Amino acid sequence: MDVLPSILLFSVLIISFRVPKSCSAADTISFNETFTDGQTLVSSGQSFELGFFSPSGSSSNRYLGIWYKSFPDTPVWVANRESPVSHSYGVLIVSADGNLVLLNNTIPSRVIWSSNSSRTVLNSVAQLLDTGNLVLKDSSNMNPDSYIWQSFDFPTDTFLPGMKLGWNLTSGLNLYLTSWKTTSDPSRGDYTCGIEISRLPQIVIRSGSVKTFRSGIWNGLRFSDIKGRGSGCIMWFGDLMDIRERVEPGSKQDMYIRMPASELASETDKEEIELPMHDLATVTTATSNFSSSNMIGKGGFGSVYKGKLLNGQEIAVKRLSRTSRQGLKEFKNEIILISKLQHRNLYPSPDKTSFTM
């Protein structure tokens, strides 16, 4: 008769051990605990909260998400964005192999979402950090580099402080943001934001396959179109595309272009053709021997005189001062610049007025 009570007591102990208990800790979920719709985890500093929510306009679809505790209507991360839970049947657990598993607790129950880590840890615990990062870790190992899984490796549409974008060389994951499809549907939308490294790293926003924004390339210290301290150097080979003018104070950048000598020679030849030359006797006659009545301007390099050639063509003649260091090359550059300027006091002559030194 003493055997039967012992057997019944043993059965009760087995049943009690196997029934999961509700999550009681403020920011963690452990094995053998359940986290159900209506419960929330709050990070230690009261910054972030994890729980189930329904987007505006969706009454029956439930999603597991994280939001700022002060702004519960704006989720910053969604676990099951592609697979909503029907009504309020969602249950989150830490499975026997150490993964986070979201179940639709109907009969029969089915897996809606999982952290799907290949590492098996028997005593893992999920914790919501005060950075908004939901991490799965070995309860006996507090090293952040040893996390089994973390939500920061799977961002949705919000970039939080401490997150990273781009390729994670350790995990092999490409981290990028993806918009919601609509305000009531958190599944993946058309817009993505990430770091592309096909040539040089830069932040790119795309709508489908169409590029709608780029930050400018990374120059070793910062993205070239983002204001910041310091300086960097970058070399580019090939065609220059998408060049922008920067007008912000302190945003000046120098560009040095290296060209083949053959191209430089051809450019010089073109400029030679644009600048006809005249001998001293011709310009002396045209300016009435550099008469003061013909002087129309004076600068640091010399005086400029108006004149007229024997064929009637009007010219401007620059006579260098004795102290001037301007030579033929500098004079040509000055004339080329003047000819390209657009100003109310400068106008092109229909008869191609010559400039002579």
Q: Which residue range forms the structural domain that includes residue 196?
A: 165-258
C-alpha of 278 from chain center: 57
pLDDT of 97 over the 80 cut:
yes
Residue of 261 and 32 predicted with greater confidence? 32
- Render 244-312 in DSSP notation, one character per residue: ----STT----------HHHHHHHHHHHHHHS----HHHHHHHTTTT-GGGEEEE-SSEEEEEEE-TTS
> How many structural domains does the chain have?
3
Let me know whether 126 and 244 are in one domain. no
Q: Are residues 183 and 193 in the same domain?
A: yes
Let me know whether 253 and 177 are in one domain: yes
140 C-beta neighbours (distance < 10 Å), count: 9
Considering the domain architecture, whether residues 12 and 134 belong to the same structural domain is answered as yes
Q: List residues forming the annotated binding site for ATP.
A: 318
Are residue 313 and residue 187 in the same domain, yes or no? no
Does the pLDDT value for residue 187 go beyond 60?
yes
**135-155 per-position pLDDT tens digit:** 999 988 878 888 999 999 999
Per-residue pLDDT reduced to its tens digit, 228-249: 455 556 666 666 656 666 556 6
| One domain for residues 9 and 158 | yes
Mean pLDDT of all residues in 23-46: 88
The reply to whether 323 and 206 lie within a common domain is no
pLDDT digit string, tens, across residues 292-320: 899 988 876 788 899 999 888 888 888 87
Kindly calculate the radius of gyration of the chain based on its CA atoms and give it in whole angstroms.
Answer: 37
Asked if pLDDT for residue 266 goes beyond 60, the answer is no
> Is there a single domain that holds both residue 158 and residue 169?
no
More confident residue, 244 or 99: 99
Question: What single-letter DSSP state applies at residue 343?
Answer: B
Binding residues are 318
Residues 136 and 15 both lie in one domain: yes
pLDDT interval class at 167 (50, 70, 90):
confident
pLDDT at 5 over 70: no
Q: Do residues 186 and 79 both lie within one domain?
A: no
